[in-house]
Amino acid sequence: MNINLKQFEVWFVTGSQHLYGPETLKAVALHSQEIAKALNASGEIPVKVVFKPVLVTPDAITQLCQAANNAAKCIGLITWCHTFSPSKMWINGLKQLRKPVAHLHTQYNRDIPWATIDMDFMNMNQAAHGDREHGFIWSRLRLSRKVIVGFWQEKSTQEKIGAWARAAAAWADWQTAKFVRFGDNMREVAVTDGDKVSAQIKFGYSVNTHGVGDLVKLVNAATDKEVDALCKTYESTYEMSADLRKGGKRHKSIREAARIELGLRAFLEAGDFKGFTTTFEDLHGLAQLPGLAPQRLMADNYGFAGEGDWKTAALVRAMKVMATGLEGGTSFMEDYTYHLQPGNKVVLGAHMLEICPSIADGKASLQVHPLGIGGKADPARLVFNTPAGRGLNAALMDFGNRFRLLINEVDVVAPEHPMPKLPVAQAVWKCRPNFEDACAAWIYAGGAHHTGFSQALTTEMMEDFGAMAGLEVVVIDADTKLRQFKQELVWNDCAYGLKSGWAC
Ligand code: MN
């Protein structure tokens, strides 16, 4: 499932007023067009940036906001006040606007022309106060937006717009997304469960369950010819031992895995689903716990999580959309086991099988091994290491009165020792600020054991996404101090308690 971010538009919207006369407004429009064009051409911004005529009346502002709401391709607005746009004019429009906004606080002219500056220059380049008036009305209306400050030609400014645009694309994707669960939540597990009705109200996406038998029908419908072709693809894509290849004595396991992938793919395509969950507790009629199939489907940008964890499946999908075109992969992940050597404490992340090969360091190896749980035939899975470098884990929990997005920045390290007996894909990382504080903070925050793991995304992108989704965003990074972090959780509980009417 290819994701094309260029299908999305953000509208570049400049606020002004009639006060300055037609000549100035003409210049404002030309300057805005030039900025929009530069942003559209920027390699840092993955979506189209579309110039919209300068807004000078309340009606024009309201109409623009309504048009943005109704334009499927429009995923957000970039607003800017080159001159001054009295903000009462914006109230009715902003009250109706349902698309994310980045308020770009920039100036057309980079430098003050010290020798020649006069009042004409001042009146043209007055974002310094025009954007303050604009910011007030957003704050007064208690509306969420991203404020981006910087010169429009500067890379760091464009990067911030790019991060926001990626988040807006993922947010737009969620609005129409459908996720399917084969079977329910893993019995008795709390953090992977949650309120699907609340999620749909807040996030737009739907989550519905199908009996695994509905999937089994399509798995059984896969033809031998299709299975042959897919097995050929496996053989040309992955390292495989001779006994798993065609003619080998364990080739049957690979064929079963191929059949499951074909059935799953057919099911997801027929239902236009953007992600799914499985559970080892509900596999009636399937020969194996799906391992290879979720791995390959994640690599094709489907969201996935195990054990019925629909929140994480949806999160992984959003992270996949945000990561489009960036270096580094994104996967479903679970904090699995620890190495507690003083001075070198690391987390080994993995799952029973289902880690996305987009994070593989080199060619993955396709293997078949027994699985201790589920009581099914030995499942096929891709086994690989994850390359060293920056990364993050993100988890989404339902706290009853709001959803919390928790992010921990990590540094992935190359495994110091080979793990020849570990039959799953894995990643090894060090947590920021350090193992003890990061894990304590994660646990104080009620962070899930399931996460979306990414070596492509930045915390900024995740925070932008969280803001659009109305999530409580809590970050554990190099600056985290545990005492303050615990206080932040208490304050957040109070703040969200006030917002929702829950006692804090
Ligand atoms: Mn799990």
Ligand 1 centroid – CA 219 distance (Å): 24
Q: What is the mean pLDDT of the chain?
A: 97
DSSP code string of 254-297 = HHHHHHHHHHHHHHHHHHT-SEEE--TT--TT-SS---HHHHHH
Ligand 1 centroid – CA 334 distance (Å): 6
Ligand 1 centroid – CA 403 distance (Å): 20
pLDDT at 487: 98
pLDDT at 56: 97
147 — pLDDT class (breaks 50, 70, 90): very high
455 to 44, 163, 205, 425: CA distances (angstroms): 17, 15, 25, 15
Interior CA angle at 62 toward 56 and 65, to 5°?
A: 110
Residue among 39, 45, 41 at smallest CA distance from 13: 39
Ligand 1 centroid – CA 281 distance (Å): 12
Ligand 1 centroid – CA 466 distance (Å): 23
8 A C-beta contact, residue 231 and residue 200: no
Ligand 1 centroid – CA 311 distance (Å): 13
Ligand 1 centroid – CA 11 distance (Å): 41
244 to 236, 288, 369: CA distances (angstroms): 13, 16, 11
pLDDT at 63: 98
pLDDT tens-digit readout, 380-397:
999 999 999 999 999 999
Ligand 1 centroid – CA 319 distance (Å): 18
pLDDT tens-digit readout, 31-64:
999 999 999 999 999 999 999 999 999 999 999 9
Ligand 1 centroid – CA 271 distance (Å): 25
- State yes or no: pLDDT of 374 exceeds 80: no
pLDDT at 99: 98
The amino acid occupying position 489 is: L
Ligand 1 centroid – CA 315 distance (Å): 15
Ligand 1 centroid – CA 424 distance (Å): 13
Ligand 1 centroid – CA 289 distance (Å): 13
- CB-based contacts of 233, cutoff 8 Å, min separation 6: none
Helices (H), ranges, 323-455: 435-444
153 — pLDDT class (breaks 50, 70, 90): very high
Query: Of all residues in the chain, what percent carry a pLDDT higher than 70?
Result: 100
432-469 b/e with 16+ CB inside 10 Å = b? bbebebbbbbbeebbbbbbbbbbbbbbbbbbbbbbbbb
282 to 73, 191, 268, 438: CA distances (angstroms): 39, 19, 18, 34
In this prediction the pTM is 0.97
Ligand 1 centroid – CA 135 distance (Å): 43
- State yes or no: pLDDT of 332 exceeds 70: yes
- CB-based contacts of 241, cutoff 8 Å, min separation 6: 248, 367
pLDDT tens-digit readout, 212-228:
999 999 999 999 999 99
8 A C-beta contact, residue 80 and residue 138: no
Q: Which of 335-344, 370-379, 386-395 has the lowest mean pLDDT?
A: 370-379
Ligand 1 centroid – CA 186 distance (Å): 9
Ligand 1 centroid – CA 333 distance (Å): 8
Q: Mean of the pLDDT values across residues 398-406?
A: 97
- State yes or no: pLDDT of 96 exceeds 90: yes
- State yes or no: pLDDT of 475 exceeds 80: yes
pLDDT at 335: 98
Ligand 1 centroid – CA 335 distance (Å): 9
What does the alpha-carbon distance between residue 262 and residue 256 come to, in Å, rounded to a whole number? 10
Q: Mean of the pLDDT values across residues 229-255?
A: 97
pLDDT at 298: 98
- State yes or no: pLDDT of 411 exceeds 90: yes
Ligand 1 centroid – CA 332 distance (Å): 9
Residue 105 token pair: 């606080």
Ligand 1 centroid – CA 137 distance (Å): 45
Interior CA angle at 370 toward 364 and 373, to 5°?
A: 115
pLDDT at 504: 62
8 A C-beta contact, residue 316 and residue 392: no
pLDDT at 166: 98
Query: Of all residues in the chain, what percent carry a pLDDT higher than 90?
Result: 97
What does the alpha-carbon distance between residue 298 and residue 274 come to, in Å, rounded to a whole number? 10
The terminus-to-terminus CA distance of the chain in angstroms comes to 44
Ligand 1 centroid – CA 307 distance (Å): 6
DSSP code string of 34-45 = HHHHHHHH-TT-
